[in-house]
A and B are shown apart, each in its own frame.
Chain A
């Protein structure tokens, strides 16, 4: 939902970043305000995941220029865990399996680290259990998954639902969902989208990174950006996604070439 005078959550200016000495992000600009849903689309290798990891603070990626301001703070100066505690959430394209750590314990440690950061008391196991039971409904998750090891032996769809469960618990200001829809069958896609829609409020914002227009039938974006070669090259409304679906990304590349002349 676009509101002119709502709070600016994220402001990215001329962001450049490299990994292993290769420049991937080449001057990226983006502004996200409270209440908004932004979709970022673009061909494979255009730097979408890189952008999401740079925002979340992955140590393998080096920012070489530009600024990222999150709720008025310099995000790039913060440790990844502090970004998370301050309200940045990244749903991973490939969530990691952690055998030996129960999902419930993991969720509690994670949730309490945020509470501590906010100066609140940590929830004990009993109170946390009650809270997490409520949140399970958001993604229709079987409580049995709580006692299993984090993501171990989960199907692709279960892993993605687990990501959204974490999002539901942490109540981030800014959620970045990196291809959360990829590899999901239609039922799982509906559950995940429905979960995300329940978590959308006028106070928070979402960046949806996706390959497929299909997701945008379920989660309606306010803006659609097209990423190409490490930059956002086109921005439009949700109708842009349909156009991309019909005409492919080559069309964007041509437009951009024309625009640049």
Chain B
């Protein structure tokens, strides 16, 4: 495949007026592809969401939620509907992304299911892994309307745009009392076309009561280029079930990524998310957890690694609603050159959520004087008997640390890289797949 630089005709200037933001969103909506799996209830989801999108506009920095992340570069780019050439992609091309161990792999190229790159769909009484079309033949099909696009937060503009543009989805379901040892690998690939394209991948994970599931969700590209990917993944974790989720965003350097992870946790459930972002010129991850039952546990490990002119924004929200919930969150950012990281961590603890135990830590390592971070814990607590702690630090590499390594014969550059990796390590080590840890270690070695 060839590498192409975006042409001037792809770009127009915008003064970012409110009218332009509405018009731009309308244009994105007009690009929605048809359903790959026609069904009336899916069309209803699309239409409802489209109606919602029509009430909205692309957010501007005047919106509190988008204060630090300016979408102007997105508005300056015109996209077309993705038309992936599935047949043109060989298994060899995706080999670097294939997990070395056993996995149920679902590959989507620009939002389109790629059966030849995926493992066989599984439709059994204990496990279902497949795209919408495959799931149509299962008993789960009738249940899907209770889950798909049913998470709270669906009204947010990019989430609604995704639902309005729904064409297919990656569905994973594990039945009650099942412990699935084999990870489910959702691989979302974006490709570069003649003209920059937009895609809206969709994922849905359902863990029935007492089940255990590991999900690896990755966003990658096969070549450099401008594109916009706007994924949404919904995860439902039922009573006493556990989901271990690793989400890695390593999109192409010039791309845009605005993604959503929405999770509902029933009583006694456990959810762990390792969210790693290091691709895209402009990225945003909405990570929203709704604890809808008592005594649920949420663990969020975040890592952003950016350089050059990258902007990477994580907006997380944990909503406690019932007593005795816990959350542990650590978010780390490594920011080099002129890059700009944003972290906003909301924690809602309303009256009924007594005995909540919530902890949040944000740590940033700035590797250059021009690097920037905006980090904001946002705790809204009305319950009176709770434990909520948060802390934020911004640091640089310590000269004492570099000197220690130098005094052992290690040159300064290697010393900096080792220490940068060390900073990221307590998030990286949570990733359950060693090869993915190695990929990240190598990325740090090559880029910092």
Contact = CB atoms under 8 A, between A and B. Distances in A.
A113 B421 contact: no
A92 B408 contact: no
Interface string B289-322: 0000000000000000000000000000000000
Nearest to B398: A96
A83 B406 CA distance: 9
B35 interface: no
A59 interface: yes
A60 B399 contact: yes
B166 to A, nearest CB: 40
A98 B405 CA distance: 10
Contacts of A90: 407
Contact of B409 (A92, A98, A100, A170): A170
B412 A81 contact: yes
A1 to B, nearest CB: 27
A114 B407 CA distance: 11
Q: Is the interface of B mostly helix, strand, loop or mixed?
A: helix
Interface in A96-128: 96, 98-101, 106, 109-110, 113-114, 117
Contacts of B401: 96, 98
Given A57-B406, A59-B403, A92-B404, A98 B411 contact: no
Nearest to B420: A100
Contact of B426 (A56, A100, A109): A100
Nearest to A166: B408
Nearest to B414: A109
Interface string B409-439: 1111010001101111110110000000000
A138 to B, nearest CB: 17
B429 A100 contact: yes
A90 B407 CA distance: 7
B403 A110 contact: no
A110 B404 contact: no
- Identify which of B400, B403, B414, B418 gathers the most chain A CB atoms within 10 Å of its CB: B403
A149 B426 CA distance: 11
B330 to A, nearest CB: 13
A57 B412 CA distance: 12
A98 B407 contact: no
A79 interface: yes
Given A98-B418, A109-B414, A84 B407 contact: yes
Nearest to A112: B409
A101 B418 CA distance: 7
Contact of B406 (A79, A99, A166): A79
A100 B421 contact: yes
A81 B404 contact: no
A81 B400 contact: no
Contacts of A43: none
A100 B422 contact: yes
B426 A99 contact: yes
A62 to B, nearest CB: 13
A81 B409 contact: yes
A133 B83 CA distance: 58
B407 A56 contact: yes
A149 B422 CA distance: 9
A85 B411 CA distance: 10
A96 B408 contact: no
Contacts of A214: none
Given A98-B401, A98-B418, A80 B425 contact: no
10 contacts: A57-B403, A81-B412, A83-B407, A96-B400, A98-B405, A101-B421, A101-B425, A106-B408, A113-B408, A170-B408
Given A100-B426, A110-B410, 18 more contacts: A58-B399, A59-B399, A80-B407, A81-B409, A81-B411, A83-B407, A84-B406, A84-B408, A95-B404, A96-B401, A98-B405, A99-B426, A100-B421, A100-B422, A100-B423, A100-B429, A110-B409, A149-B425
